[in-house]
Every structure is written in structure tokens, then in C-alpha cells.
Amino acid sequence: MKVLFVTSDGDYGAWNFEEYCDLKKISHIEIWEKVNNSSQEIWTYENEKEGLNFEVSSFEFGDIDTDFVNFINDKIVDYDGGKHTNFYVIEEE
């Protein structure tokens, strides 16, 4: 299972990441590949003009039950905290 972990030094890192993907019309798998193939452990995006900043790390795990991921999202990830720091499971096509 491929996972992106998104955060930022400021507020709304996860929201900024989602807005970036929408603006650039780029998929999460494309971001995962970009981060995973980078020489950096963390890919940082900061654009004052767009008002977006965030940091992305990529991880790869063995098989994880999607029910467990749903449990984490529903019961552990705080809605307000998820605006700042979140994870995204990469669904491969």
C-alpha cells in the first residue's frame, strides 16, 4: 500500500495539498511517484502567489485492510487536525 503523508509548517497543509492537486490537475499517484523518485525524503511546495505550502513524504507498506484505513479516518483522524496534517492512500489504476 502506497501512502502520502502531508503536513506543513503553517496551517492547512493538507487543504493546500488538495487545492494544489486540483489546480495542477495532478493525481495523488503522480505526486507519490514524484516524491518517491526524488533524492529528498520530503518534497516541499511553497508558492506565495498561490498561497499554498505543504510538505509531502511517501511511504510504502505491505497489505493493509481498507476497513482498517477507514477506521483510522473515521475514529482517529480529527476533522480539524486533518486540515493541517493528513495521509492519502494511493489507489493504483
Question: Is the pLDDT reported for residue 93 higher than 70?
Answer: no
Can you give the pTM of this predicted structure? 0.89
Q: For residue 91, what pLDDT is reported?
A: 77
Q: Are 82 and 7 in contact (CB under 8 A)?
A: no
Write the pLDDT tens digit of every residue in 40-88. 899 999 999 999 999 999 999 998 898 999 999 999 988 888 999 999 9
Q: For residue 92, what pLDDT is reported?
A: 64
**Summary count for the chain: helices (H), strands (E):** 4, 4
Question: Is the pLDDT reported for residue 24 higher than 90?
Answer: yes
State the DSSP code for 90.
E
Question: Is the pLDDT reported for residue 8 higher than 60?
Answer: yes
Q: Are 6 and 87 in contact (CB under 8 A)?
A: yes
- DSSP codes of every residue in 37-63: TSSSSSEEEEETTTTEEEEEEEEE-S-
